């Protein structure tokens, strides 16, 4: 593969949306940020200069970074943040990724505006496993806040409640014609009748999963999270925060203007409830009478859990000679993780003004992740004691009815800690991710760094260890890096722990992550030289 060099300057830049101008964090002055393009197996060197007044790190979401956690990016997990005025160089070695992934800040809530598409083409001389598109268009689903987004988590901690929602959803940085002062900027995709377009769709929204559709057009899904899928047709998609999808759009309708829209899929009442939509335009070339407003697509309502499941149930990986499915058939490490939103008391050292003196928290196996002040990777690599503990539980402390008919009070309050789970090199791992209804049910988009995994099963209600494994798909399950654990449901994932390092797993709903819904895998080195963590780069940021 080739080596490609990029320079990313993180700085504050003025942007005008929703009738007013404010400073936002950008890369190279762009919102959304620049698109990275490479071929399968290439290497990218990205020099990052922090000219902003906040700490920053960048993460390459969906890229596995073989043996090189040093460039993965989550702050205080694989690196200390790049402080204002400092720089850091990320080295990104691509391996089996192909299709659309993305990059975003992984420090505080900076990813609200610091993000962009990352497109990985087939190797030179190779082809897509689907009909060639006439053009390819990144479609970045994002948000606009009137407030300074960097202050939102701190404010929410003080009130103890849900963080505020954004003021608009956006498509390629634009709220679109449904919002005030936004008609002019509306993103417009010009198409020619009879042609085929590849939309590279990314959900970069902090707090919401989304439904997305183009009026009067069926969509063909051909990839997800940088892996191809068996193509299937649909009227709408559900894309969870953190996910990316490759979607073919055939311009096969009478020339006109059609809305390309997105709306929240919240699944549960809570901060995620937002019934507004964002719209952009697909416009056919040619001479015809433009309608006064574009045709708009029917999108499922915000709480349509069934519509979301009806879409995701179609995922199958290609499982061909060129794109094989390497599903682990035998499992030696069985893990069971519960995902909960909890309530904790306001305390003297974490004061808050929440009702009843309580605030939200979140946990995996009832452990709420505490972000350390020194990065776990260096602590592990240099044997520095006292930064983390190795006793992350392999199963939840109590079994109960996870669909939440009865609430065991001891599960309402999590324990706290910076705990990692140690995995042997090449362990064959299965994790049941079980949603719970400890406080309220929710859909949790769970992302694992350093890996892709196979989603071999999923369902609603409580996972049944006797019956459910009998229905696993071990032939062509989808390969993903961010999986939506359904509302009051579970998923079963499998992967081989063949990437040594320190890797974060967390909910991609930003509030849940902020509240502690995350944990860390420490995958040990193997015996051969090719199965050990690479040496650290020379100039690591300091904490």
Q: Which residues bind Cu ion (CB under 5 A)?
A: 444, 507, 509, 512
Separation CA 81–CA 26 (nearest Å): 17
Shortest CA distance to 330 belongs to which of 456, 434, 479?
A: 456
Give the nearer residue to ligand C2O in terms of CB position, either 268 or 519: 519
Closest residue to ligand C2O, Cβ-based? 61
**Edge-to-edge, what's the strand order for the sheet holding 227-234?**
168-171, 135-144, 196-203, 244-250, 219-224, 227-234
Span from 50-58, 153-161, 284-292, 502-510 in contact with ligand C2O (CB under 6 A):
502-510
Give the nearer residue to Cu ion in terms of CB position, either 263 or 512: 512
Smallest gap from residue 351 Cβ to ligand C2O (A)? 28
User: Which tokens belong to 478?
Assistant: 């989808």
C-alpha dist (Å) from residue 86 to 72, 91, 136: 18, 17, 35
For 185, half-sphere exposure in the C-beta direction (CA atoms, 13 angstrom radius) is 18
**Edge-to-edge, what's the strand order for the sheet holding 333-345?**
415-417, 367-369, 358-364, 333-345, 428-435, 489-496, 453-460, 479-480
Give the nearer residue to ligand C2O in terms of CB position, either 444 or 449: 449
Q: What is the CA radius of gyration of the chain?
A: 22
> How many residues in the shown chain lie near ligand C2O by CB under 6 A?
11
- Which partner in ligand C2O, Cu ion, none is near 69 (CB below 5 to 8 A by kind)? none
444 is a contact residue toward ligand C2O (CB under 6 A):
no
Assess contact for 358 and 332: CB atoms under 8 A: no
490 burial (CB, 10 Å; 0-12 / 13-18 / 19+) is buried
Give the nearer residue to ligand C2O in terms of CB position, either 105 or 491: 105
- Which partner in ligand C2O, Cu ion, none is near 74 (CB below 5 to 8 A by kind)? ligand C2O
Separation CA 480–CA 382 (nearest Å): 32
- Which partner in ligand C2O, Cu ion, none is near 509 (CB below 5 to 8 A by kind)? Cu ion
User: Which tokens belong to 59?
Assistant: 């993460």
Give the nearer residue to ligand C2O in terms of CB position, either 153 or 404: 153
Query: Which of 447, 462, 494, 512 is close enough to bind ligand C2O by CB under 6 A?
Result: 447
- Which partner in ligand C2O, Cu ion, none is near 61 (CB below 5 to 8 A by kind)? ligand C2O
Give the nearer residue to Cu ion in terms of CB position, either 117 or 341: 341
Strand extents, DSSP E, 94-239? 99-105, 115-121, 135-144, 168-171, 188-191, 196-203, 209-214, 219-224, 227-234, 237-239
Would you give the binding string for ligand C2O spanning residues 27-66, x where CB under 6 A is met?
--------------------------------x-x-----
Longest dimension (CA), the chain: 71
Give the nearer residue to ligand C2O in terms of CB position, either 44 or 304: 44
Would you give the binding string for ligand C2O spanning residues 505-524, x where CB under 6 A is met?
-x-x----------------
Span from 43-51, 207-215, 222-230, 503-511 in contact with ligand C2O (CB under 6 A):
503-511
Which DSSP helix (H) or strand (E) runs through 22? Answer: strand 20-27
Smallest gap from residue 465 Cβ to ligand C2O (A)? 29
Separation CA 377–CA 380 (nearest Å): 5
Read off the DSSP letter of residue 165. Answer: P
Smallest gap from residue 449 Cβ to ligand C2O (A)? 6
Span from 279-287, 363-371, 468-476, 500-508 in contact with ligand C2O (CB under 6 A):
500-508
Give the nearer residue to ligand C2O in terms of CB position, either 341 or 504: 504
Would you give the binding string for ligand C2O spanning residues 197-226, x where CB under 6 A is met?
------------------------------
Give the nearer residue to Cu ion in terms of CB position, either 429 or 507: 507
User: Which tokens belong to 303?
Assistant: 């709480």
Give the nearer residue to Cu ion in terms of CB position, either 27 or 509: 509
Smallest gap from residue 29 Cβ to ligand C2O (A)? 23
C-alpha dist (Å) from residue 355 to 160, 349, 352, 371, 503: 8, 18, 9, 25, 36
Look-up of token digits 């320190």: 502
- Which partner in ligand C2O, Cu ion, none is near 507 (CB below 5 to 8 A by kind)? Cu ion
Give the nearer residue to ligand C2O in terms of CB position, either 103 or 197: 103
- Show the CA angle centred on residue 212, arms to residues 186 and 494, nearest 5°: 135
Smallest gap from residue 458 Cβ to ligand C2O (A)? 21
Assess contact for 502 and 77: CB atoms under 8 A: yes
Beta bridge partners of 247: 199, 221
Smallest gap from residue 85 Cβ to Cu ion (A)? 34
Residues numbered 366-395 forming contacts with ligand C2O, rule: CB under 6 A: none
Shortest CA distance to 79 belongs to which of 512, 541, 414?
A: 541
Give the nearer residue to ligand C2O in terms of CB position, either 506 or 511: 506
Please tell me whether residue 261 adopts helix, strand or coil conformation.
strand
Query: Which of 66, 116, 175, 242 is close enough to bind ligand C2O by CB under 6 A?
Result: 242
- Which partner in ligand C2O, Cu ion, none is near 444 (CB below 5 to 8 A by kind)? Cu ion
504 is a contact residue toward ligand C2O (CB under 6 A):
yes
Residues numbered 61-120 forming contacts with ligand C2O, rule: CB under 6 A: 61, 74, 104, 106
Please tell me whether residue 157 adopts helix, strand or coil conformation.
helix
Smallest gap from residue 444 Cβ to Cu ion (A)? 3
Shortest CA distance to 379 belongs to which of 389, 367, 371, 387?
A: 387
Residues in the site for ligand C2O, rule: CB under 6 A?
Answer: 59, 61, 74, 104, 106, 242, 447, 449, 504, 506, 508
């Amino acid at each position: 593969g080739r080596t490609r060099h990029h320079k990313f300057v993180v700085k504050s830049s003025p942007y005008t949306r929703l009738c007013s101008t404010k400073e936002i964090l950008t890369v190279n002055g762009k919102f959304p940020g620049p698109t990275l393009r490479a071929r399968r197996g290439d290497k990218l060197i990205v020099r990052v200069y922090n000219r902003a007044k906040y700490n920053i790190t960048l993460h390459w979401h969906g890229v596995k970074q073989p043996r090189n956690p040093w460039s993965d990016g989550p702050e205080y997990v694989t690196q200390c943040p790049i402080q204002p005025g400092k720089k850091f160089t990320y080295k990104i070695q691509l391996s089996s990724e192909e299709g659309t992934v993305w990059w975003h800040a992984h420090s505080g809530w900076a990813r609200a505006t610091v993000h962009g598409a990352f497109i990985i083409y087939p190797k030179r001389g190779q082809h897509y496993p689907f009909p060639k598109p006439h053009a390819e268009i990144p479609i970045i689903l994002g948000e606009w806040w009137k407030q300074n987004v960097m202050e939102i988590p701190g404010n929410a901690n003080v009130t103890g409640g849900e963080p505020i929602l954004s003021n608009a959803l956006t498509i390629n940085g634009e709220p679109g014609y449904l919002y005030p002062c936004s008609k002019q900027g509306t993103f417009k995709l010009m198409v020619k009748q009879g042609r085929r377009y590849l939309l590279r769709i990314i959900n970069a929204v902090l707090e919401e999963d989304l439904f997305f559709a183009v009026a009067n057009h069926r969509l063909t899904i051909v990839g997800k999270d940088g892996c191809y899928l068996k193509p299937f047709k649909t009227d709408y998609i559900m894309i969870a925060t953190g996910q990316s999808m490759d979607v073919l759009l055939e311009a096969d309708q009478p020339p006109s203007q059609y809305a390309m829209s997105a709306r929240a899929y919240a699944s549960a009442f809570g901060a995620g409830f937002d019934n507004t939509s964002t719209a952009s335009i697909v416009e056919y070339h040619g001479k015809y009478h433009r309608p006064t407003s574009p045709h708009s697509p029917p999108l499922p309502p915000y709480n349509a859990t069934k519509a979301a499941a009806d879409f995701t149930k179609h995922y199958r990986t290609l499982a061909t000679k060129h794109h094989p499915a390497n599903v682990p058939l035998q499992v030696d490490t069985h893990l069971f993780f519960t995902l909960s939103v909890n309530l904790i008391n306001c305390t003297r050292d974490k004061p808050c003004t929440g009702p009843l003196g309580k605030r939200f928290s979140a946990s995996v196996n009832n452990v709420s992740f505490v972000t350390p002040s020194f990065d776990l990777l260096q602590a592990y690599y240099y044997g520095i004691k006292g930064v983390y503990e190795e006793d992350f539980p392999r199963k939840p402390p109590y079994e109960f009815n996870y669909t939440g008919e009865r609430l065991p009070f001891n599960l309402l309050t999590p324990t706290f800690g910076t705990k990692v789970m140690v995995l042997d090199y090449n362990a064959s791992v299965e994790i049941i991710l079980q949603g719970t209804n400890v406080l309220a049910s929710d859909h949790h988009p769970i992302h694992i760094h350093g890996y892709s995994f196979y989603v071999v099963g999923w369902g609603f209600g409580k996972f049944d260890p006797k019956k459910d494994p009998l229905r696993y798909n071990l032939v062509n399950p989808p390969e993903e890096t961010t999986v939506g654990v359904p509302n009051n449901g579970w998923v079963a994932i499998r992967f081989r722990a063949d990437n040594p390092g320190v890797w974060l797993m967390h909910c991609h709903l930003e509030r849940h992550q902020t509240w502690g819904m995350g944990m860390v895998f420490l995958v040990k080195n193997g015996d051969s030289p090719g199965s050990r963590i690479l040496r650290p780069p020379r100039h690591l940021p300091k904490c």
